[in-house]
Chain A
Amino acid sequence: MADKETVIGVETRVSGEIRGGEDLVVKGRVDGKIQLSHALTVEKGAVVQADVDVRSLVVSGTLVGNTVASESVRLLASARVVGDLASPRLIMEAGAAYRGRVDMGDIEAARAAVASRAAAKPAVGRTEVARESLAPSRVPPRVAAPPKTAVLAAKAAPRFVAPAGGEKSGETGPASPPAFPRVAGAVGAVAPPWAKKKVRRR
């Protein structure tokens, strides 16, 4: 901490708004908005999902959001950036991945555009915006998991369902039926091709 500098560490996540008058280094994760009169550095491994308004920007990590930099933007080789960039200077190293629109002309117009978009968002609520922006990155793993369990359930379900229906339907009737249709329904919707194929193979 020799110089004035703010660091968001590797294991730290900020969701909301960061603004101020000193350099900011993000090594962890920021979701929301970043507004600085100084430099922002998004380090390798860091993920920033935010609208950014800074003097200069250096990215070697991942940045998703619209950026206005009044001085310069530098995308290093390991940078992964999606979003519009507005800056009078742009340096992009070989290897940097970028998708978006670049405007090296009228920075003030770009800033106004970002500001007006940002002004429209808070009406929804900052936390909701933050949650929305979290959703895409968090959801995939959760979505990816169910199919596996569904497949497992497909393997297991036919064996369980048949005996339960035959032997205990009278006793456990009131409690269990609501549970089975759900499982059976999920299996039926997702996995019957798999289940059938495997049964046939065996």
Chain B
Amino acid sequence: MANTVIGSSIVVDGEISGEEPLVILGTVKGKVVAAGHVSVEAGATVEADIEGQNVTVGGKLTGNVTARERLELRPESKMIGNAKAPRIVVADGATFKGNVDMDV
């Protein structure tokens, strides 16, 4: 269970940083720095750079993602920005525009 949840009707304008799982259902603008899992759920809108261990995108994300372990773009996701992660999963149906850096 995620410890931090940004609900669907919430707008956060600024920086979110934390050491625990973060689930975004609403809108976040600014920056997200997390030590754990970051999940941008379906219906969420994020205009922010995201840093996390695992990053899962199911909603709409505009910004650069740095995942220390894994980045996953779910089928309904829409991402514009650069992706940096050792493992990247792009599901069939996901929309993505940006650079991919897998540290090869």
- List the interface of chain A (C-beta within 8 A of B): 1, 4-22, 24, 27-28, 32, 126-127, 130
Contacts and interface: CB of A to CB of B under 8 A. Distances in A.
Interface string B62-77: 0000000000000000
Contact of B18 (A1, A5, A13): A13
Contacts of B7: 4-6, 20, 22, 24
Contacts of B9: 4, 20-22
Q: Which 3 A-B pairs have the closest CB atoms?
A: A16-B14, A12-B18, A9-B3
Interface residue SS majority, chain A: strand
A12 B16 contact: yes
A20 B10 CA distance: 4
Contacts of B6: 6
Interface in B22-52: 22, 26, 30
Interface of B: 2-22, 26, 30
Given A1-B5, A4-B7, A6-B6, A12 B13 contact: no
Contact of B12 (A5, A11, A17, A130): A17
A20 B22 contact: no
A52 to B, nearest CB: 15
A7 B20 contact: no
14 contacts: A5-B7, A6-B5, A10-B20, A14-B15, A14-B17, A16-B13, A16-B30, A17-B14, A18-B13, A18-B14, A20-B7, A20-B10, A21-B9, A126-B14
